[in-house]
Amino acid sequence: MPTIYIDNKPFDVKTGKNLLEACLSLGIDLPYFCWHPAMGSVGACRQCAIKVFKDEEDTRGRLVMSCMEGVKDGMRISVNDETAKAFRSQVIEWLMTNHPHDCPVCDEGGCCHLQDMTVMSGHNYRHYHFKKRTYPNQYLGPLINHEMNRCIQCYRCVRFYHDYAGGKDLNVFAAHNHVYFGREKDGVLESPFSGNLAEVCPTGVFTDKTLKEHYTRKWDLTNAPSVCQHCSLGCNTIAGERYGQLRNIVNRYNHEVNGYFLCDKGRFGYEFVNSENRITQPLIRNQPIEATEHDTVLQYMRALVTGHNLIGIGSPRASLESNYALLELVGKENFYQGVPDDLVYVEQKIVDILQSGTVHTPSLKEIEQADAVLVLGEDIWNTAPIMALAVRQSVMKTAATHTTEQLPIPTWHDAAIKELVQEDKGFLANITMLPSPLDEISSSSMKAAPDDMARLGFAIAHILNPSLPEVRNAGEELLSYAATISKALQAAKHPVIITGTSCWNNALIRAAFDIAAALDMNEKKAGLAFVMQDCNSMGLAMTRASSFDRAVAAIQRTTNVTAIILENDLYRSIPAAKADTFFNKCKHIVVLDTLHNRTTEKAHVLIPAATFAEADGTFVNNEARAQRSSQVFMPANSEIRESFKWLADIKSLVTTASNGHGKHMDDLLHALEARLPQFAGVSRVAPPHDFRIHGARIPRESHRYSGRTAMLANLTVSEPKPLQDDDSSLSYTMEGYRGLPPSPLIPFFWAPGWNSGQSVTKYQEEAGGALKGGDPGIRLFEQTTAPPVFSKDIPDAFTPRAGKWMLLPQYHIFGSGELSVYTKGIASLSAEPYVSLSRRDAEQSQLKNGDTVAVKTDGKTYTLPLSINESLPDGIILVPAGLTGMEALSWGAWVNLSTVIV
Amino acid sequence: MERPLTRNIHPDRPPLNLKEYEMTGGYAAVRKVCGGGMSPAALQKLVQDSNLKGRGGAGFNTGIKWSLIPMGDQAPHPKYLIANADEMEPGTFKDRVLLEGNPHQLIEGMILAAYAIQAEVAYVFLRWAYHKAADLIRKSIQEAYDAGYLGKDILGSGFHLDMHLHTGVGRYMCGEETALLNALEGKRATPRAKPPFPQISGLFGKPTIVNNVETLCCVPHIVNNGADWFKGLSYSEDGGTKLYGVSGKVKRPGAWELPMGVTMRELIEEHAGGMKNGVQLKGVLPGGASTDFLTTQHLDIKMDYKSVAAAGSRLGTGTMIVMDSETCPVGFVHNLQHFFAQESCGWCTPCREGLPWVEKILLSLEKGDGTPEDLELLNMHTQFLGPGNTFCALAPGAMEPLQSALKYFRDDFEKHIEHKKCPYD
């Protein structure tokens, strides 16, 4: 470990770091703009200047940019050197020559890196007396606001959007002091990662347009650590509330999971919490006044749950606690996943693989560090966007490693690496049904039907381990792909295989496992990552409860059924006919949910559930990492409560035994661990509710939170007692412990002098490293040395059938989400319903683009406009999944396609 | 007095075509080298021994520069050789003489340089405005291909070289070799961080040498006549002749090939015919707009790299701009800063934001709106826009005429402030 002398004091620093990283990691405040821990150094802003001295005798030294110089043992530097300080202050003054003095009306004010760095550099008096430069702003779509006059030309936006995330429509234009960052012309930003611009921009050029609709300063928000609800990756977020309204979502750094970035669906898809479509009161239907309140509905429920056969339908988007509370209420044998059989079948295979522990499941960070990636059958761009971003980094970093192995260029030197790397890429085989933006960086990107993708997987596994069965009747093309891919995977040190459930194909999962296990047999550290569909799909699947189809079968044998449906619009996941069959057999239907939907319409009793923002809850992500999402605010409307609390109350109607339904959520989690041992550890995901530091809770509000005594003055002039949180050690106050909280309880990032999100460095072991005390989340499955069980069963090649098409879903990052489309901006970007056929199929049916096509399935006919897809394999019909107004279809079924309605 | 570079350049005659060039001894050096007369290593050594220094302004030994290129079977390929013909330094027009006067001489020099570093691809990166040169070079490259001096297996040597002409779009920044490389790759003309140097990671990330036109034109003559002959051409320790230029209010502005190390006095008084009647010499930018002023006290210094540096400036391109006693130094420097501010690429803060500020201050001085604080601000910029503080040499270069003007002509600046107007108006 090299020792460097900073202002004559020795410090041990890590090899391979630059001086800026070293200083920041040591806790030294050194201002910077263009450097970003995830994007490295380019030396543009010149803000991080320090002095470097040749030796102890050297008193003059040399001004250098700390981000562009690596640490060397024995090196002597000065941060406090007067010239260095003057220069840093001067850099700010230069930036300020054109920066508007509009902080009071700027959305970034109060969480602005430029403000922080200005104060840090000491610049305060303006010497520039001339006019400021001005720019026109652009319309960049419904999610991001553009205010170019504030730009300080740090180039971070293009480096993120263009270089890091692969977006093409944002760039830098013009030159000298007219450099412009934007699009070639006004228009919606195309990248689904555009929201990160608001965080990488050190000032208010790119800001969150959804926040602008209900703007609140960062310091006035009540915040809590949260977990994204919009896909299975479980990206960590910080959600902020004021006046009972969720105001924004920002990234919560987790080194192992999402790092610094979120996708736009995760960042902006929060507005459902504030929706007018929320269920705000318990309803008992079929009576003159349906709306009721807590005690009445419980009284009513007593009759429904006693003397009735209970069936509980769980939810892949409800927390583990709520699913477990339902399981406890109805009994384990009467608890079903609200998920169709075909999907449960695929998910169980995944859980089996994870539980066996034979192969390693990588975190997103590990995927970033993979040196060869095979995506087998999962459209991760749409179903797990941040994983797609991680795969992109793997491809880029592998190419960078090729060069840094040959030349002594440090890994942080982004500019030099880019010049050397040029168009070189690490290995990525993106095997999907349809083209994806990832194909641009893929070495190999075969497009095929799910069974054929699985066959490719088995062919790869066979090459890697010839004792595995051979794929019969494999074509030359498939074998040549298999040869290329297996060669690349074999050559890699850390290959990763990614697959998922969105093709509803079990063979894909088995094939992916066989590849990873075969690689491991050759002493590889292969990783096998799965993508699931919802934020707690893994948690629900791990209960190993039966599918919804089993519930339908069971209800046929039973009478007098009270069905309790937990946070699940069955019409989105189950074909309507099947859902109807179920509901028709129920005597009573009780639904707990947050928003009105087709399922809640069926409810005889409708109970208002809390959203993630109003609830504590544990969610298990795609790598079986259990993560805690904390309550951001207690709804003023006391009828809105966590489902598990409602269910506990209902449970208490029928039993006096506590069954873990104590006062605190911890009690429930302990009971869960005892009842379902596969969840051992979930009670330790976050500190218990009685955790205190120096006797204090961790405040959800900043010490600058304003209006506490005035906010409710219209109702009562005396300041009300702060709300009491019985489930976590976070408090609803400004007061409390102000040091670093345990990582699962970080409500927001702030440090003295660091008001922007850049303050995260102060929470990290080292700049860009793990959070102090370890990253939050507990992985529920251990890796074991159990021998792999390979597949024997390889599907036949996919063959189109005459007059029939296999119906498969197409996911869209914007539109397929049930909740995210409540955000107006996301709704406006959502795909319109359509149906896709291959060109050959369309031509054979004499169809052309835009023709209205009737798809017959599940006894119903859906008419949709045709969109011919040039890459789609023949014999498949694709329909977008989950768009508003589209119900669930029997994915994987063979359907008829008929008449063209002109 | 020998003038190897311009011997065959006559203002009243079109440049030599390939046949004519060969008749004057052209391509003999290529024949010698490719005919087995010299290994790449020997050619590098020869040029190193000749003490040829880069004529673009930096004055680095060309042979040593070449020797930093990875050679042998393990070297990355393709390697590139680039002629920097993006001559945009204000006051500089010496490469134009060579480009328009004898394009085959450049091509021959490039073939030799490419051979020395075993480059497979060569580019001429030409200033956009040099239309005549573009036509000539395009034609000459074709002639060289037709004659077998370019292409596959040149003269049976097994050495291949393809050559292309690339015309810029008019950015001064492209004269900076790494910005030139970015521009050639189709990217924004922003400079690159060094290290890694282009010899290691250049065009498209491959080993690359960028040489100035005049530098490359010297190479055939060194091959033909030897290192000692080349050194003997010079009055100083830097080898060869130099194309010097003089502009400003002199009687005969122009460019001349002269032994390296002639004095400034000889250049101005003999070759340029002295100052025009009625004006006196006040200052000289000895090597283009981005060099420090020298004044009458420096007239007897030798115009070579070391001597000019010792006097506090740089030889630069060797093409001087003479400032006369009737020209306002503040206005003169303002004009230069306007140019540099406009040509800043916008990458680093000090240059992007500092130069326009300097330009505005100088304009306000000229208008009579200056204050004593402005001189402090100008002074601050000359210090903080120095080498190492900015990303590349553009802003430090821009500060050279300003800092020296503040040193030698400070009273002119002060009079602007004192009288609230330009005293030269």
Distance from CA of B182 to the nearest CA of A (A): 9
Q: What residue of B is the nearest CA neighbor of A408?
A: B196
Separation between Cα atoms, residue A104 and residue A217, nearest integer Å: 10
Mutate to test the interface with A, among B169, B177, B348 (most CBs of A within 10 A): B348
Q: A365 and A344 in one domain?
A: no
Cα-Cα-Cα-Cα torsion A727, A729, A731, A735, nearest 10 degrees, comes to: 170
Note whether residue B5 is domain-resident: no
In angstroms, the CA A268 to CA A250 distance is 9
Q: Given an 8 Å threshold on Cβ–Cβ distance, is B193 in contact with A42?
A: yes
Indicate whether B262 belongs to any domain.
yes
What is the distance between the alpha carbons of residues B224 and B25, in angstroms, rounded to a whole number? 9
Same domain flag for B314 and B339 = no
Residue B36 is predicted with a pLDDT of 82
B221 in contact with A, Cβ within 8 Å: no
Q: What 8-state DSSP symbol labels residue A762?
A: G
Confirm or reject contact between B169 and chain A (CB < 8 A).
no
Minimum distance, in Å, between the CA of residue A488 and any CA atom of chain B: 22
Interchain contact B170–A (C-beta under 8 A): no
Which of A132, A176, A180, A407 to mutate to probe the B interface, most B CBs <10 Å?
A176
Interface residue of A51, A69, A419 to substitute, partner B, most B CBs within 10 Å:
A419
Residues of chain B contacting A413 with CB distance shorter than 8 Å: 193
Say yes or no: B182 and B264 in one domain: no
Query: Are A660 and A581 contained in the same domain?
Result: yes
Q: Which of A792, A825, A859 is the last residue of a domain?
A: A792
pLDDT of residue A662: 64
Question: In chain A, whose CA is at the least distance from the CA of B189?
Answer: A175
- Work out whether strand A144-146 and strand A206-208 pair parallel, antiparallel, or are unpaired: antiparallel
Q: Measured between CB atoms, does A153 come within 8 Å of chain B? A: yes
Report the CATH number at residue B130: 3.40.50.11540
Task: Indicate whether A440 and A501 sit together in one domain.
Answer: yes
Of A94, A176, A413, the CB nearest to B342: A176
Residues A735, A646, single domain; the answer is no
Model pLDDT, residue B37 = 79
Residue A661 has a pLDDT of 55
Contact across the interface for B344 and A155, Cβ inside 8 Å: no
Residue A24 lies in a domain: yes
Residues B226 and B274 in one domain: no
- Pair A874, A750 in one domain: no
Mean pLDDT of all residues belonging to chain A? 95
CA distance A28 to chain B (A): 22
Looking at the structure of chain B, the number of domains it has is 3
A62 touches chain B (CB under 8 A): yes
Considering the domain boundaries, does residue B405 fall inside one? yes
Last residue of a domain, one of A491, A525, A559: A525
Q: What is the extent of the structural domain holding A454?
A: 361-525
Pair A365, A327 in one domain: no
Q: Are residues A355 and A370 in the same domain?
A: no
Looking at the fold, whether B216 and B277 belong to one and the same domain comes out as no
CB-based contact, A180 to chain B, within 8 Å: no
Mind listing the pLDDT tens digit for each residue in B176-216? Answer: 999 999 999 999 999 999 889 999 999 999 999 999 999 99
Assign residue B413 the CATH number of its domain. 1.20.1440.230
Q: If contacts are CB pairs under 8 Å, which of residues 335-374 in chain B contact chain A?
A: 341-350, 352-357, 360, 364, 373
Quick one: closest CA in A to B353, which residue?
A94
Q: Is residue B3 part of a domain?
A: no
Q: Give a yes or no: residue B8 inside a domain.
A: no
One domain, residues B39 and B106: yes
A154 part of a folded domain: no
My answer on whether B290 and B345 are in the same domain is no
SS3 (DSSP) at A860: strand
Helix axis angle, A113-121 relative to A82-96, nearest 10°? 140
pLDDT reported for residue A784: 87
Does A153 sit within 8 Å of B341, measured CB to CB?
A: no
The CA distance from A798 to B216, in Å, is 64
Tens of pLDDT, residue by residue over A280-315, are 999 999 999 999 999 999 999 999 999 999 999 999
Which of A42, A68, A153 shows the shortest C-beta gap to B352?
A153
**Is residue A161 domain-resident?**
no
Nearest residue in chain B measured CA to CA from A172: B188
Within-domain flag for A120 = no
User: Which one of A62, A129, A154 would you mutate to disrupt binding with B, by most B Cβ within 10 Å of its Cβ?
Assistant: A129
A443-A449-A454-A457 Cα dihedral, nearest 10 degrees: -20
Q: Which of B309, B324, B339 is the last residue of a domain?
A: B324
| A646 domain-assigned | yes
**Helix/strand/coil (H/E/C) assignment for every residue in A368-414:** HCCCEEEEECCCHHHHCHHHHHHHHHHHHHHHHHHHHHHCCCCCCCH
**Which of chain B's residues have a Cβ under 8 Å away from the Cβ of A177?**
341, 344, 346, 352-353, 355-356
Name chain B contacts of A86, Cβ cutoff 8 Å.
384
Residues of B in contact with A64 (CB under 8 A): 388
> What is the pTM for the complete model shown?
0.96
Per-residue confidence (pLDDT) for residue A803, from 0 to 100? 87
Residues A646, A572 within the same domain: yes
The verdict on residue A419 lying in a domain is yes
A583 falls within a domain: yes
Q: Domain of A869: which CATH number?
A: 2.40.40.20
Closest Cα in chain B, distance from residue A68 (Å): 9
Q: How far is A770 from chain B (nearest CA, A)?
A: 29
Would you say residue B70 lies in a domain? Answer: yes
Nearest to A87 among B345, B352, B384 (CB): B384
Note whether residue B279 is domain-resident.
yes
Chain B environment of A98 (Cβ under 8 Å):
353
Asked if residue B340 and residue B290 are part of one domain, the reply reads no
User: In this predicted structure, what is the pLDDT of residue A898?
Assistant: 75
Q: Do residues B226 and B267 share a domain? A: no
Comparing CA positions, the residue from B182, B403, B193, B399 lying closest to residue A46 is: B193
- Which H or E run contains B328? none
For residue A158, list chain B residues with Cβ-Cβ distance below 8 A: none
> Under 8 Å CB-to-CB from A408, ≥6 apart: which residues?
none
Residue B395 lies inside a defined structural domain of this protein = yes
Quick one: B301 and B318 in the same domain?
yes
Q: Measured between beta carbons, which residues in chain B are less than 8 angstroms from residue A127?
A: 373, 377
Q: Same structural domain for residues B148 and B261?
A: no
For residue B345, the chain A residues in CB contact (below 8 A) are 175-176
pLDDT given at position A128: 96
Which residues of chain B register pLDDT less than 50? none
Phi, psi of B394 (to 5 degrees): -65, -55
Looking at the structure, do residues A366 and A515 belong to the same domain, yes or no? Answer: yes
Q: Which residues of A touch B356 (CB under 8 A)?
A: 176-177
Cβ-defined contact of A415 to B192 (cutoff 8 Å): yes
Domain membership of residue A178 (yes or no) is: no
CB contact under 8 A, B348 and A43: yes
Neighbouring CB atoms inside 10 A of B156's CB total: 10
Task: Specify burial of residue A188 (Cβ count, 10 A radius: 0-12, 13-18, 19+).
Answer: middle
If residue B396 lies in a helix (H) or strand (E), which one and from where to where?
helix B394-408
Q: Which residues in chain A come in under a pLDDT of 70?
A: 656-662, 899-902
* Interface touch B348/A415, C-beta < 8 Å: no
Q: Give the minimum alpha-carbon distance from B82 to chain A in angstroms, rounded to a whole number.
A: 17
CATH number of the domain encompassing residue A16? 3.10.20.740
Q: How many CB atoms lie within 10 A of CB A259?
A: 22
CB contact under 8 A, A91 and B350: yes
Final residue of a domain: which of B187, B211, B232? B232
B203/B258 same-domain check: no
The bridge status of strand A222-227 relative to strand A236-242 is antiparallel
CA-CA distance, B223 to B31, in Å (whole number)?
A: 10
Residue that is last in its domain, among B232, B263, B292: B232
On whether any CB of chain A is under 8 Å from the CB of B70, the answer is no
What is the structure's pLDDT at A522? Answer: 73
Same domain, A544 and A498: no
| Cβ–Cβ pairs < 8 A, chains A and B | 104
The answer to whether the CB atoms of B201 and A407 lie below 8 A apart is yes
What's residue A85's pLDDT? 98
Whether A45 has its CB under 8 Å from any CB of chain B: the answer is yes
Report the largest interatomic distance among the alpha carbons of chain A, rounded to a whole angstrom.
Answer: 92
DSSP letter for each residue of B140-206: HHHHHHHTTSSBSSGGGSS--BEEEEEE--S-GGGGSHHHHHHHHTTS------SSSPTTTS-GGGS
Residues of B in contact with A52 (CB under 8 A): none
pLDDT tens, residue by residue, A489-537: 999 999 999 999 999 999 999 999 999 999 998 777 899 999 999 999 9
Nearest CA of chain B to the CA of A46: how many Å? 6
A14 and A82 together in one domain: yes
Strands (E), B221-292: 241-248, 254-259, 281-285
Does B302 lie in the same domain as B158? no
How many folded domains does chain A comprise?
A: 5
Q: What is the CATH number of the domain that holds B308?
A: 3.10.20.600
Residue B36: domain span: 18-232
Whether the CB of B279 is below 8 Å from some CB of chain A: the reply is no
Answer yes or no: do A504 and A427 share one domain: yes
Q: Which residue has the tokens 């119903």?
A: A860
Q: Rg of the Cα trace of chain A? A: 28
Last residue within a domain, chosen from A485, A507, A525: A525
Task: Sort out which chain A residues have CB atoms less than 8 A from B380's CB and list them.
Answer: 90
For residue B372, what are its two tokens? Answer: 């004593």
Distance CA B281, CA B287 (A): 16
> What pLDDT shows up at residue A759?
97
- Chain A residue whose CA is closest to B363: A130
CATH number at residue A598: 3.40.50.740
- From CA A892, how far away is CA A454, in angstroms rounded? 15
CATH number at residue A429: 3.40.228.10
B334 part of contact set with chain A, CB < 8 Å: no
